[in-house]
Amino acid sequence: MRIGIYGGTFNPPHLGHLTAAKAVFELLKLDQLLLIPAGIPPHKPLPEGSASAEQRLEMTRLTGEQMNLGDRVQTLNLELEREGKSYTSDTLAAIRQRYPEAELWLLMGTDMFLTIQDWHQPEKIFDLAGVVAFGRSGEDTESAFSRQCHRLYQAYPNARIHTLTIPGVIDVSSTELRDRLARGEGAHLLPPAVYGYILRHGLYGVQADLKHLTFPQLRAVAMSHLKYKRVPHVLATEQEAIRLAERYGEDVTKARVAALLHDTTKKLDMEEQMALCRKYGIELDELEQKALKLLHAKTGAAIARDVYGVDDDIYTAIFWHTTGHARMTRLEKIIYLADYIEATRDFPGVEELRRVCYEEGLDAGMVLGLSMTVEEMKARGNPVHSATLAALADLKGTREN
């Protein structure tokens, strides 16, 4: 097994880190990449206004998820947990213990590579792992790399070194990036979910009123709440909500906001959902107390209102997006259906449901969508929520009148 180890302060992690990690993963055919935010770095004390250790860990995790490699990319809090200064040699020794048979490769950027002889116990580092250094393509980097390789091989004859220059690697230091963020710039240098996380927590002097975000900001914030694999669903729901709102004369802005925030709490587990229910005084019926899937609509609506300041129309559209209910508003129907038929959905009958939604009207779409849900729940032997049955009865009644 070949394992890459990428440490750094990740304060914050940015697209430069992400591009390099992706390139090395492919070039070295790694089986596993470990991202390790540093605790107290020996070479540079963290500047004031930095994110906390937990925040750097979470931003690093969000960045790792963007590689879309599932379990093959992991973020470890190895160095954050350890007391005192964090030395790379200690980290490598700990990883060697965990994976005695693995081939270890330590990833690093240009600056680190050119100073590695000054680190704590460099001989131990070269003994435990190979070193992969990467920098931006260009003659400067390449000649500096080859001079350094020569020096290192003389001092550490058994060293294994790979250097590579990556075209298009984003060459930005975290220090420079923090300055730019404080001036309201630099968002494009971050994975969107990381930018959203920074906005939510007001890190690095980024000041945003969460109740009045622009759409790009709101989209980034929404992504920071989601598992990476759910991002396409939410973005497609936004697009579908826009189309439905335009088709049926609904407020497009409200539809977009509701769509972007509708699954905000979807990744939370039962305990976290319950904590939010207590916080926001959300009462649950017997079915909801057991059905994790049903809770995210209610807790998501509460977060949307409390944190992001949405109005009652958007609040109820999120609140009812999973079950529906009797006497639904037009916006509620649009969010329910956009979630159901968005472009990434692929299940038997979705084409017909899309056609009905656009050609026969929202109510006809709701009747078909709700009926399909009821049938599916019955087929799986799952109980159907009373609000879903009420929605269906109500709409059928309306349509027959």
CB of 296 to Fe ion, least distance (A): 6
CB of 343 to Fe ion, least distance (A): 13
CB of 237 to Fe ion, least distance (A): 6
Q: Which amino acid is at 230?
A: R
Determine phi and psi for 17, rounding to 5 degrees: -60, -45
Write the CA distances from 367 to 347, 363, 370, integer angstroms: 17, 6, 5
Residue 172 vs 292, nearer CB to Fe ion: 292
Residue 10 vs 319, nearer CB to Fe ion: 319
CB of 263 to Fe ion, least distance (A): 4
CB of 187 to Fe ion, least distance (A): 25
Residue 238 vs 263, nearer CB to Fe ion: 263
Q: Which of 217, 256, 216 is nearest to 342 (CA)?
A: 256
- Burial level of 169, CB count in 10 A (0-12/13-18/19+)? buried
CA dihedral 169, 172, 174, 180 (to 10 degrees): -130
CB of 266 to Fe ion, least distance (A): 6
Provide the 3-class DSSP secondary structure of residue 247: helix
Residue 131 vs 317, nearer CB to Fe ion: 317
Please, what is the end-to-end C-alpha distance for the chain in angstroms?
A: 67
Residue 3 vs 222, nearer CB to Fe ion: 222
Write the CA distances from 54 to 10, 11, 32, 58, integer angstroms: 11, 11, 23, 6
Q: Would you state the structure tokens that stand for residue 365, as one six-digit string? A: 């779409």
Residue 106 vs 236, nearer CB to Fe ion: 236
Residue 240 vs 263, nearer CB to Fe ion: 263
Q: Would you state the structure tokens that stand for residue 388, as one six-digit string? A: 């879903």
Q: Which of 15, 6, 13, 58 is nearest to 35 (CA)?
A: 6
Q: Would you state the structure tokens that stand for residue 378, as one six-digit string? A: 């019955």
Footprint of Fe ion (CB under 5 A): 263, 339
Distance, CA of 319 to CA of 294 (rounded, Å)? 10
Provide the 3-class DSSP secondary structure of residue 172: coil
CB of 15 to Fe ion, least distance (A): 27
